[in-house]
Structure formats: structure tokens, C-alpha cells
Structure 1
């Protein structure tokens, strides 16, 4: 026996290049307060890139909704300190939600600038892809601001294809066909 405890499903220790270790795990209801509190630490551009518009605060209602995904149609992960939910500072949130009456899911990822550019977004996206495949969906997609080059490059490196949204200037839809190898 090697002394390592087996982690529950969808849990993973993730070491950043700077040596800091985060725990990637499913979001929990107790994460609502820390996520709401950490929202104030985000820069306006980070918020706009994720929500596609300026948002001054994450209301308690929005935080509660995010932290209570419907397990049949939604999946949400956090990358947080290895502390109990509710106490851990959350550095990133990733979510996939099945679009009603389709075989598609929409993703959203927000990685704080404090931990951005260190491979965390890639790992979270891989987990979202894995979840959508367990649901036997055909496509995973997300809308990205056309100047959010890090997200567009990440999506392309994972096999997503760009599709410009004609009705929403400034946005690019990235789509991953889950039936391709």
C-alpha cells in the first residue's frame, strides 16, 4: 500500500507550476459564500470574458444557483484550496449544462488571474469533455469573446472548431464534436 488515500469520483489534486496544490472537485453548496466573496477579487475584464457583459456582483441567488447543479443535466467543478468546502478559497469554476431537448451541452469556465496560465483551465476543460461523453452527448460548445485569445487557443488545442455567431458580433462559438476521436 502506498499510503495515498483514494479520492472520490471527479476529485483530483492539481499541482501548479509554482508548487501550489489545488483540489479539483465537484462544486458543493457550501462553496457559494467563498465564490461570492472571491468574485470581488476578479478584474472587470475577467468578469466580462466569462459573463460576456459587465457584472458588478455575484448575487447570493446567482451563487446559490451555481452551487446547486441539477445532476441530470449540469456538472460543475471548482479548483480550490485543499480545505473543507465553505472554507476553501476557490480559484476557478467550470460548468457544463445540457441544452434542453438537444444532445449538446454548453460550457463556461472562469479561472482567476491569480492561477491563470498554469494549465488549470485545460484540466478543467478535459473534465468537462469527459463528463459530456459520459452523458453520450454529440457536442460541447461555448461562446467566447473574440479577443479572449487564451480561451480560443485552449479550445483549438483541445479540438474545438470556431464558428462565428452572426447574430452576436464580437463572439465566437467554439464547438467540439464528441463523436470524433
Structure 2
């Protein structure tokens, strides 16, 4: 009997609709080089939909912030080739960051056109929701361009509701993670 090949927490191999295998795993500092290199492969519209404005390249500061999240308040996953960090081409990045002083967290997902439309965005979003629930957060939100219909459709299919945004051309999508978190805490503490 052979030993079972177990992956570390938050790691999973996924076969995409096109047959390509990707490894979904937490982002690593070693991913900085491939992230900066793969950014050049993105179309201007892909960049605008994620960053909400034109960006020509990822700055060293941005890449460092992305690849070295604060473990207590941030979480980021990549969908990459099944190679070691630093060598693997990154096809998608999903990130969530708790908003200081609240029980909310903001998400962001970028899926390159090479792997878009294969369910990867949905898969990554579900992982972000799982992390946020594990941190006992109450709401997950993101600002999406009104023109980004694929992201708005995905969010709607996962239970996010739309809210007006102060910024023109943006829609805020919000998911209530556990509406009764406060009530459950009160019930747990009360004698009974």
C-alpha cells in the first residue's frame, strides 16, 4: 500500500475545464518574481477590472504587500502551475483583507484570460469566504466595475447583494457571512 500524498492546509490540485492542472495554494514571497512577470501578460481591461484604473506594472511595494500578507488580517491564494513557488506561472490571485476596526473584509480576485471562464474565480471566492468565516468576520465585500458583468454575475450567484457605491461606475457587492454571530455569542454566554 502506498502512502497517500497529502497536501498542506489550503493547498489543492484542481483540474480545469480545459484539462490543465493548477495548484491552488497560499501565496508565497517567492511568487513575487512570477507575479511581476505575468502582470505584463494581462490585457489592459483585465488590469482595469481588478485595479479599477490603468496600471502599467506592479510596483515592488505592491508585490511585497501581495506576497507577504499579514496572517491575522489578510489571506491570499494563487492558482499556479504545480511547480515550486518562484518557478510557477501564476494564473490567478485571490486576496481578502480585514478592514481595521470592523468585522468586515474586502476581497479582490484577478483571473487571467488564459484560465478565465473555467470556474476558477468561483472556486477561489469560496475559499476566501471560508477563510473569512473562520476568522468570524461578519461581511465580505468588494468594489466591482459596473461593466465587469462576469464578476457581478459570479457574486450574485454566490449570494452577494449589490449596494450603491460612492464612486461612479462602481458597484459594491456584499456577502453577509453570518447574520446571527452576535446573537449566538450572547446565547453562549447566558446561563442556561
TM over 0.5: yes
User: What's the counterpart of residue 177 of structure 2?
Assistant: 178
User: What's the counterpart of residue 131 of structure 1?
Assistant: 131
SS of equivalent residue, structure 1 residue 37: helix
CA contact (8 A) 2:106 2:141 kept: yes
User: What's the counterpart of residue 48 of structure 2?
Assistant: 48
Whether 1:72 aligns to 2:91 is: no
The count of corresponding residues between Structure 1 and Structure 2 is 180
CA-atom RMSD in angstroms: 1.2
Please give the residue correspondences for 1:105-144 in structure 2 after superposition, counting only pairs within 5 Å.
Answer: 105-144=105-144
What is the CA-CA distance between 1:18 and the residue it aligns to?
A: 1.0
User: What's the counterpart of residue 168 of structure 1?
Assistant: 167
SS of equivalent residue, structure 1 residue 173: strand
User: What's the counterpart of residue 6 of structure 1?
Assistant: 6
Deviations 1:76-104 (A, max 9, x none): 00000000000000000000000000000
What is the CA-CA distance between 1:2 and the residue it aligns to?
A: 6.4
User: What's the counterpart of residue 62 of structure 2?
Assistant: 62
Q: Distance in 1 between matches of 2:136 and 2:59?
A: 33
CA contact (8 A) 2:92 2:109 kept: yes
Q: Distance in 2 between matches of 1:148 and 1:2?
A: 47
CA contact (8 A) 2:29 2:67 kept: yes
Larger Rg: 2
What is the CA-CA distance between 1:114 and the residue it aligns to?
A: 0.5
What is the CA-CA distance between 1:180 and the residue it aligns to?
A: 5.0
SS of equivalent residue, structure 1 residue 41: coil
Q: Distance in 1 between matches of 2:2 and 2:44?
A: 45
Q: Distance in 1 between matches of 2:64 and 2:138?
A: 29
Please give the residue correspondences for 1:21-40 in structure 2 after superposition, counting only pairs within 5 Å.
Answer: 21-40=21-40
Q: Distance in 2 between matches of 1:144 and 1:90?
A: 22
User: What's the counterpart of residue 184 of structure 2?
Assistant: none
Deviations 1:28-85 (A, max 9, x none): 0000000000000000000000000000111122111110000000000000000000
SS of equivalent residue, structure 1 residue 6: coil
> Which has the larger displacement, 131-140 or 2-11?
2-11
